[in-house]
Amino acid sequence: MGLFKTENCPICNKPTGALAKSSAKYNGLFVCQSCAKKLTANGILLIRLNKYSLDELQKITGTSKEDIQKHLTEVSSFQATKKVGNFIHFDDVNNKFAVPHTSITGAVNDLQIFDYSDLLDFELIEDGNSISKGGVGRALVGGALFGSVGAIVGGSTGHKQKSTCSKLQVKITLNNIKKPTVYINFIETETPKDGFVYKQLYGQAQEILSLLEVVTHSNTSSTVASSNNVSAADEILKLKHLLNIGVISQDEFDAKKKQLLGL
């Protein structure tokens, strides 16, 4: 896939981009921040790494060769059928989605891969305020299935008056003990809301929410029906729901409906 141009961490062997490198070296190579954190947490002095064998360090960081091989196999078998920038990739064949790790140049150097069935909740957060939420977990908590899916949560009034945004992120909650939450960051520096950059990134964030919504629906409503023979009518019903909860616009709904009906 041409993903791995960067140096690999000498301990976990994962590709390590410029931003993910720690200052510690082992066998002349930079250890990734994730391994460095785990080692420090286990009382290992990073300046003394060379006193330890690779096996010992891998045991401490929980990065066995089998785990690494499994991850690499998973990455190479992931086939993105739909991408929203390098924010999230969907593999509709294997029912998986991936949140890429990108280097400082924006190149993808690793994929965090999750099963569709692990998706619980997702939420768009702007400067700490929840803009919209969706997912099956919330609906079940709320009682009626989908009763509260995608409910638009109003931010504070102060938030609405702000003309800039400093942080825009999608938070995804997963049914995964090792990785219960994953964040996709769209904006990390103060950005004017009336500009092109904000509008484009906000649009991509909304697109991701609607795709995650579709994934949640495919988990809950069509686990029996095979996803290949979902009828146009079913698709339209899903889209209608997305329209109702404000995830997609009337124009987008109309266009998609026409397409599905072959008009």
The residues of the shown chain that bind Zn ion, judged by CB under 5 A, are: 9, 11-12, 32, 35
Beta carbon of residue 193, minimum distance to Zn ion (angstroms, whole number)? 38
CB-count exposure of residue 131 (10 Å: 0-12, 13-18, 19+): buried
CA angle, 248 then 101 then 170, to 5°? 30
| 257, 249 contact by CB (below 8 A) | no
Alpha-carbon span 71 to 75, nearest angstrom:
6
- Closest by CA to 226, choosing from 93, 128, 51, is 93
Q: Which is nearer to Zn ion, 32 or 187 (CB)?
A: 32
Beta carbon of residue 78, minimum distance to Zn ion (angstroms, whole number)? 20
Q: Which is nearer to Zn ion, 46 or 151 (CB)?
A: 46
CA 14 and chain centroid, separation: 18
| 143, 158 contact by CB (below 8 A) | no
- DSSP letter at 48? G
Beta carbon of residue 77, minimum distance to Zn ion (angstroms, whole number)? 22
Q: Which is nearer to Zn ion, 24 or 32 (CB)?
A: 32
| 58, 66 contact by CB (below 8 A) | no
Q: Which is nearer to Zn ion, 12 or 120 (CB)?
A: 12
Beta carbon of residue 38, minimum distance to Zn ion (angstroms, whole number)? 8
Q: Which is nearer to Zn ion, 38 or 217 (CB)?
A: 38
Q: Which is nearer to Zn ion, 9 or 247 (CB)?
A: 9
| 182, 112 contact by CB (below 8 A) | yes
Q: Which is nearer to Zn ion, 35 or 44 (CB)?
A: 35
Beta carbon of residue 76, minimum distance to Zn ion (angstroms, whole number)? 19
- Closest by CA to 185, choosing from 72, 87, 70, is 87
The answer for residues whose C-beta is within 8 angstroms of residue 150's C-beta and 6 or more apart is 132, 133, 134, 209, 213, 242, 245, 246, 247
Beta carbon of residue 169, minimum distance to Zn ion (angstroms, whole number)? 24
* Total count of residues recorded for the chain: 263
Beta carbon of residue 75, minimum distance to Zn ion (angstroms, whole number)? 15
